[in-house]
Amino acid sequence: MRTKIIRGLIAAVAAVAAAMATAPASQADTRAAGLLLGQHQNLGGSVWYFADNRADIGSAGDKASSAKNDDTVAWLLFDDKNFSDRRYCLAPRHYVKDLHYASWNFGDKISSVKRLTTSSCSGYPTF
């Protein structure tokens, strides 16, 4: 009886873990390379996709709590519109699960994004 309950729990946890692991990836897989911004931590909630520079990310602006670079080049994330104020560089394949983390305090702040021409974040602050 107890073993059965534990097995059931393990199966449930595994199912949730599988769903969490595949949800953002499957959304990204259907798109070309680009930048993903998540409304919540871990790319939860709405996921906004960017393929090129955006001077004002509009309705997604100031709402992103996670960011993932699914591109082959680096991206710059700016606190203000028109590529201004504080900025952080996100190298290819890098994933910031929580932009609110105190070390960078960048949650609910991103207002513009720029796609660089190289994969390097050299010369820019990184997370």
- Rounded Cα gap, residues 47 and 36, in angstroms: 6
Q: How far is the CB of 62 from Ca ion (least distance, A)?
A: 5
Q: Which stretch binds Ca ion (CB under 5 A): 4-12, 14-22, 48-56, 76-84?
A: 76-84
Q: Which stretch binds Ca ion (CB under 5 A): 10-18, 31-39, 62-70, 92-100?
A: 62-70
- Rounded Cα gap, residues 64 and 127, in angstroms: 15
Q: Are 74 and 91 in contact (CB under 8 A)?
A: yes
Q: How far is the CB of 34 from Ca ion (least distance, A)?
A: 20
CB nearer Ca ion, residue 8 or residue 125: 125
Out of 23, 39, 79, 124, the residue judged to bind Ca ion by CB under 5 A: 79
Tokens describing residue 100: 């609110």
- Residue 75: count of CB within 10 angstroms of its CB: 26
* By the rule CB under 5 A, 111 interacts with Ca ion: yes
Q: How far is the CB of 60 from Ca ion (least distance, A)?
A: 11
Q: Which of 82, 78, 69 is nearest to 36 (CA)?
A: 69
- Name the DSSP class of 54: B
- Residue 55: count of CB within 10 angstroms of its CB: 14
* By the rule CB under 5 A, 87 interacts with Ca ion: no
Q: 72: helix, coil or strand?
A: coil
* By the rule CB under 5 A, 98 interacts with Ca ion: no
CB nearer Ca ion, residue 109 or residue 115: 109
Binders of Ca ion among residues 36 to 55 (CB under 5 A) are none
